[in-house]
Structure 1
């Protein structure tokens, strides 16, 4: 079994949330690097979240919401 086959499938919600995250960032006209810096994470990881290639822990969700000056509830409020 290859490494690719062992990777678990990313839930659809994570993919849709990533699209929402990117749209929000573009709407607010901020770079991926700026949000990543404010959240204290690597821009490459944030890019993976936006592309739906990586699941996010709740603690990371909180940090990203803070970077957008939003609550986690506000950040999660989008049409799925």
Structure 2
């Protein structure tokens, strides 16, 4: 796999994770601001994550999962790729 292919793969993952985060938030009837407050992050950063425009560190993933009352493993269940 080339460097460009790896980068595209990461970008696709970020977009899919963002869609998943947004779907979870909407499903629970929460605003970006409410989840951001619970995760102790800036709402603007959460918007970027939801749009797949920004990669996140594992520590951030853990904080967002916690804001949804999920484990990081539970939050990543959407990823069906091998």
Coarse TM-score class (shorter-chain normalised): 0.7 to 0.9
Tell me how many residue pairs correspond in the alignment.
Answer: 73
Residue 22 of structure 2 corresponds to which residue in structure 1?
22
Structure 2 portions without partners, runs of 5+: 1-6
* TM-score calculated relative to the size of structure 1: 0.85
- CA distance in 2 between partners of 1:79 and 1:73 (Å): 10
Output aligned runs, 1:58-69, within 5 Å: 58-69=58-69
Residue deviations 1:14-37, cap 9 Å, x none? 111100100010001001000000
Q: Which has the higher helix share?
A: 2
SS of 1:55's partner is coil
Q: Using the alignment, how far apart are the partners of 1:79 and 1:11 within structure 2?
A: 14
Partners in 1 of 2:37 and 2:57 — Cα distance?
18
Root-mean-square deviation over aligned CA pairs: 1.5
**SS of equivalent residue, structure 1 residue 30:** coil
After TM superposition, which residue ranges in structure 1, 4 or more long, deviate above 2 angstroms? none
